Amino acid sequence: MTTNLNINKKIYTLDLLGHETLLEVLRDTLGLTGTKTACNEAQCGACTVLINGKAVLSCIMLAKDVEGDEILTIEGLSAKGVLHPIQQAFLDQGAVQCGFCAPGFILSTKALLDKNPDPHLDEIKQALDGHICRCGGYLKIFEAVKQAGRELKRS
Amino acid sequence: MLLNPFTYHAPKTESEAAQLIANLADAKLIAGGTLAINILKSLKRNHSPTPSHVISLKKVTSIQGITLKDDKLLIGAMTKISDIIDSTIIGQYCPVLSIIGKNIATTQIKNMATIGGNITARFVWTDFQVPLVALGCDLHFLLKDDQQRIISAQDFFDQGARSQGLLTKISFKIPSKNEKFIYQRVPKRSKPDFPMFSMCFKYTVDNKRLTKTKIVMNDSCHFAKRIPSIEQNIDGLDLTSKTKTNILNKLDLSAVIGSMEDYKKTRMLLSFKDALQQMINAHDNESKY
């Protein structure tokens, strides 16, 4: 089945069978490996992408179901080689250890700050409640979100 | 591939979806996909048979959204949990649904899961069962050849939550200002976060007494149902009485406790006491002003 997917503002025309998850299409078909495969059971958040600005789990989403939607992956966040303020904040605050959970956290942060530019700590924790960091870097991550919020407000 | 092959169907209208459901007996329906896709993965991992057809309701846009019609509130079956939480209509007329939505899973799941999927998934522990029964909701189904069927939420769960056709919307009379709700959800001790049980209390205060009390509960073994024995226990409670809190020590939970483990009994008793205390406190606070 011919399927048009709008990923990072680019239209990909693919021939899909119908039973592929979005995560499989992103990584295996398109080589966009920034979105990670971890638990594959919607428990860890590593596969998070944004669909029409909302954080969703690509491991439990059929690729065919998002035809016509705007999909943002971690690859689409930076522009012309310049890191997005959220990515920069994560680096500045030391919020990236092994880095495996980072793309998911960063995209959920984008969804949060787009809706609420100045979140309280409780709001940050709630927005990121679908993510696990096995390295245990949560405090740094929360600081990174706050820094990113300040930077985005400034700009 | 994480999923076994299937034929993917994406109907765009309610009639098309209802016809597909009627014609494809073994088809798996996908609403938000938060339960269904993991089930399909699990079946494949266990080398169990998987459905040869999947019907995705994503494109049936007419069954999404929340509206008011006369004195009724209508929630489309494909309305996302996050939309219920953010809805100003729900916030104004039935905030208990927003509270329940906020307790469900994680942000990403809330952005994907639907209220229709939550109640038709045939899992006893799902969250929206108890408030829909407490609200006296009707569930609207579309069968093949555009036949309609309306069933009360109570009857639906009493019959084991067996869907017939396409669930299109949930409707209920807008609660009056006198009708109040308390929701209790006790999580299990371990992940994943399925509730041990959840309860919704609906009550009215009439002449300073609790009246028209509805108590609905579901747990890890039972679909949502009312508990008439406890409703009778507390209906008529005089909220001005100095001994009103004695009711907290007289609750007879034998009808629901059954063979529960001791820690569950304790949690349940505490939840009931907490809910009753909230009702009493709410009345006392209102009486001051």
Size of interface A-B (CB pairs under 8 A): 86
Q: How far apart are CA B62 and CA B185, in angstroms?
A: 32
Q: Would you place residue B187 in the very low, low, confident or very high pLDDT band (cuts 50, 70, 90)?
A: confident
Give pLDDT, residue B288: 60
How confident is the model over B179-192, as a mean pLDDT? 79
- Minimum distance, in Å, between the CA of residue B232 and any CA atom of chain A: 39
Q: Which residues of A touch B78 (CB under 8 A)?
A: none
Put simply, the answer to whether B109 touches A54 (Cβ < 8 Å) is no
Put simply, the answer to whether A60 touches B33 (Cβ < 8 Å) is yes
What would the pLDDT profile of A53-77 be if each residue is shown by its tens digit?
Answer: 999 999 999 999 999 999 999 999 9
8-state DSSP, A61:
S
CB-nearest partner of B38 from A18, A41, A129: A41
Q: How far apart are CA A17 and CA A108, in angstroms?
A: 29
Put simply, the answer to whether A65 touches B30 (Cβ < 8 Å) is yes
Spell out which chain B residues touch chain A, with contact meaning CB-CB distance below 8 angstroms: 1-8, 10, 30, 33-34, 37-38, 41, 54, 56, 58, 82, 105-109, 111-112, 191-192
Residue B191 has pLDDT above 60, yes or no: no
Burial track A97-133 (b if 16+ CB lie within 10 A, e otherwise):
eeebbbbbbbbbbbbbbeeeeebeeeebeebbbbbbb
AA identity, residue A94 = G
Closest chain B residue by Cα to residue A24: B1
Closest chain A residue by Cα to residue B12: A65
Closest chain B residue by Cα to residue A43: B192
Mutate to test the interface with A, among B42, B106, B191 (most CBs of A within 10 A): B106
Put simply, the answer to whether B33 touches A45 (Cβ < 8 Å) is no
Q: How far apart are CA A149 and CA A109, in angstroms?
A: 9
CB-nearest partner of A40 from B2, B10, B82: B2
pTM: 0.90
Burial track B24-37 (b if 16+ CB lie within 10 A, e otherwise):
beebbbbbbbbbbb
Other C-beta atoms within 10 Å of B236: how many? 11
Q: Which residues of A touch B38 (CB under 8 A)?
A: 41-42, 60
Residue B190 has pLDDT above 70, yes or no: no
Q: How far apart are CA B39 and CA B3, in angstroms?
A: 10
From residue B142, give the alpha-carbon distance in Å to each of B27, B69, B155, B165: 16, 19, 17, 5
How confident is the model over B206-223, as a mean pLDDT? 87
Q: How far apart are CA A23 and CA B95, in angstroms?
A: 35
Put simply, the answer to whether B56 touches A62 (Cβ < 8 Å) is yes
Instruction: Report the Cα B206 to chain-centroid distance in Å.
Output: 27
Residue B289 has pLDDT above 60, yes or no: no
| Beta strand spans in B57-208 (E) | 66-69, 72-76, 138-142, 148-152, 166-173, 179-187, 195-206
List, as own/partner pairs, every contact residues B202-206 make where C-beta atoms lie below 8 angstroms and the sequence separation is at least 24, other chains included. B202/B134, B202/B135, B202/B175, B203/B179, B203/B279, B204/B176, B204/B178, B204/B179, B204/B180, B205/B178, B205/B180, B205/B239, B205/B283, B206/B178
A17 close to B (CB below 8 A): yes
Q: How far apart are CA B200 and CA B132, in angstroms?
A: 9
Residue B257 has pLDDT above 70, yes or no: no
CA-based end-to-end distance of chain A: 43
A43 close to B (CB below 8 A): yes
Q: Which residues of B touch A21 (CB under 8 A)?
A: 2-3, 37
Residue A106 has pLDDT above 60, yes or no: yes
Q: Name the pairing type of β-strands B195-206 and B166-173.
A: unpaired
Secondary structure of chain A: what % helix, strand, coil (to 5)? 40, 15, 40
Q: Would you place residue B279 in the very low, low, confident or very high pLDDT band (cuts 50, 70, 90)?
A: confident
Burial track B60-91 (b if 16+ CB lie within 10 A, e otherwise):
beebbebeeeeeebbbbbbbbbbbbbebebbe
Put simply, the answer to whether B107 touches A130 (Cβ < 8 Å) is yes
8-state DSSP, B146:
G
Angle between the N-to-C axes of helices A85-92 and A138-154, in degrees from 0 to 180, rounded to the nearest 10: 140
Best CA proximity match to B39, nearest among B27, B50, B53: B50
What would the pLDDT profile of B60-90 be if each residue is shown by its tens digit?
Answer: 999 999 999 999 999 999 999 999 999 999 9
What would the pLDDT profile of A118-155 be if each residue is shown by its tens digit?
Answer: 999 999 999 999 999 999 889 999 999 999 999 999 88
A39 close to B (CB below 8 A): no
- Minimum distance, in Å, between the CA of residue A41 and any CA atom of chain B: 6
Best CA proximity match to A36, nearest among A47, A45, A28: A47
Tokens coding A105: 């956290």
Put simply, the answer to whether B37 touches A62 (Cβ < 8 Å) is yes
- Give the contacts of A112 (CB within 8 A, at least 6 positions apart): A119, A123, A124, A127, A128, A145
A73 close to B (CB below 8 A): no
